[in-house]
Structure 1
Amino acid sequence: MAHVAFIGLGRMGHGMAGRYLDAGFTVAVWNRSQAKAEDLIARGARWASTPADAADGADAIVTMVADDEASRAVWLGRDGAAAAKVGTLAIECSTVSYRHALDLARELRGRGLIYIDSPVTGLPDAAASGKLTLLVGAEPADLERARPYLVPLSTTIRHFGAVGSGTVYKLINNLMGAIQIAGIAEGLAIAEQAGLDMKLVLEAIETGVAASPQVLRHSKRMVARNFSGATFTAALRHKDAAYAVALAESLLSDAPLMGRAAVEAYARAKAVAPDDDEGKMIEIVSRQK
């Protein structure tokens, strides 16, 4: 029976780890807080005392943590998962910077592990039901070897090319999301302050050319100020946008103006409510002069 180590049991990781249990894998889990693992342990997962303990004997290690710093710590820190046996698959599902993805790949390959970057798109309910889209950067042979560990998580696997390419697309995706969400908030705030009928505004948005999945998902919640059950926080959106802008600045001759504006907008939201839903952006831009 295949053995998976799963590290990081946040909003997304918890459901993803559960998918491996559903699929009949032997699963070891580690998280900074053991409380988030209790129901997985009750379902048969083994609680690991450290990332290295989780990785011991694993065929594949899957990580889903917040950022570069957390990724570096769980892989390369004291008692890190990089201590796994030679030939183990190292599947990084976290959204990290492009530079970190390349550096981590080099470091883990140097230790004999097979590194794949596989950030995801989808909400926590998709993570728990195995309906994520995986954005993969890997050598073709490595992807085929990893596929049995990716299929339980996903309905779609998009292979963008070599290691790091999946991360590039994820950063593009989340930067566009940040720009759209900040734009939705600003547009709706203008409509509110101008006294428009917000029911009519929402109807017009939903049927207009500016509609997109992000617009449709956030506009009603913003108008209703309904931010319960945050699925993506202001702090995470700011982090992803900042990573994307750093990548853009390394590739584009002109400054990424829209990206920088989104980073600035989410820096403000992060300062006020870092762990609240990203849609609270409207409360930032709605403040009257």
Structure 2
Amino acid sequence: MARIAFLGIGLMGTGMAGQLIDAGHEVHVFNRTRERAMPLVERGATLAISPAMAAQNADAIFVMVGDDVASKAMWMGPEGVLSADLRPGTLAIECSTLSHDWVEELSLAAKMKGLDYLDCPVTGLPDAAASGQLTLFLGGDQSTIDKARPFLEIISSNQLYFGPIGSGTAYKLIVNLMGSIQIAAAAEGLVTAERAGLDLDLVAKALGTGGCGSPQVTRNAPLMVQGEHEKDVLFSTKWRLKDTDYGLKYAHKLGLSPQIGSATLDAFQAAMDDGYSTSAETKVIDALRKRLAK
């Protein structure tokens, strides 16, 4: 069995690290809030006092955090992974949804350290992470993917290879921007249906099963109608805004100026401005209600 470092024990990281523990690997975990890691310690993980300590002597290092700032702290902070004395060829597997610029910078830093870097953002909800049913969007050398495959197959049921480093993140940013657009469009449609006096439960069901349906619409439209934006939050407004912003910045990097994406960013920024940062992403409907009313 391998020694694995897993850094970032949030809703997704808990499930992913748990799968690696259950597979029999020696898993060393680090999280900025120690308490969140304790359930994994009870399952057999070793709690490290820093990312560097977790990564020491590891065969593979996984990171699953919220944004560029957190990723930089894990990899390049004073006690970050790259400050440790690591074996050449150690797998460096970054699973977070990050900006394309930071992924390029990080991959170069990892290469300079002699690590085998893998661009590996994921899709799926926490229950998929806990059951090893995630889908991975991979970017990197084929040899690195082959070496990482035994670990990747534990945390996922599907691995999609998009090409060199950065291509997995490119696809993740594209699909997350599209998801943001779908959520905002569903919210706007429901506000319009509400003004029309339609049965919103029926509208939500019809949207999810009709031609405009998508997994995002199917899941989020009923939640918007129920209005329970603070209960069992799986993905907050803060993180939806971040993903939308990163997706737009990548499009701008490619010389594009997405108009629908920009309007969507404004919608989630409005929800943030209204104080909904920790509410579910579905709370965008209330921000739109205020601004669409005449």
TM-score (norm 1): 0.97
Show the counterpart of 1:128: 130
1:280 corresponds to 2:283: yes
Q: Supply the distance in 2 between the matched residues of 1:53 and 1:14 (Cα, whole angstroms).
A: 19
Q: 1:85-131: CA deviations, max 9, x gaps?
A: 32210000000011111110001100111110100000000001000
Structure 2 unaligned segments of length 5 or more: list them.
Answer: none
Q: 1:53-107: CA deviations, max 9, x gaps?
A: 0001100000001111111111011011122332210000000011111110001
Aligned residue type for 1:235: K
Deviation at 1:266, TM superposition (A): 1.1
Q: Supply the distance in 1 between the matched residues of 2:63 and 2:77 (Cα, whole angstroms).
A: 14
Structure 1 unaligned segments of length 5 or more: list them.
Answer: none
Aligned residue type for 2:222: K
Q: Supply the distance in 2 between the matched residues of 1:282 and 1:177 (Cα, whole angstroms).
A: 15
1:79 corresponds to 2:79: yes
Deviation at 1:12, TM superposition (A): 0.5
Show the counterpart of 2:202: 200
1:257 corresponds to 2:255: no
Match of 1:105 among 97, 104, 107: 107
Q: 1:155-178: CA deviations, max 9, x gaps?
A: 000010000000000000100000
* Residues 141-156 of structure 1: pairs in structure 2 closer than 5 A: 141-156=143-158
Q: Supply the distance in 2 between the matched residues of 1:211 and 1:267 (Cα, whole angstroms).
A: 24
| 8 Å Cα contact 2:209-2:218 kept in structure 1 | no
* Residues 157-172 of structure 1: pairs in structure 2 closer than 5 A: 157-172=159-174
Deviation at 1:267, TM superposition (A): 1.2
Show the counterpart of 2:41: 41
Aligned residue type for 2:36: K
Show the counterpart of 1:245: 248
Deviation at 1:141, TM superposition (A): 0.6
Deviation at 1:47, TM superposition (A): 0.4
Q: Supply the distance in 1 between the matched residues of 2:115 and 2:31 (Cα, whole angstroms).
A: 21
SS in 2 for 1:4: strand
| 8 Å Cα contact 2:125-2:234 kept in structure 1 | yes
Show the counterpart of 2:96: 94
SS in 2 for 1:286: helix
Aligned residue type for 1:150: L
**Percent of matched pairs sharing the same residue:** 47
Deviation at 1:199, TM superposition (A): 3.2
TM-score (norm 2): 0.95
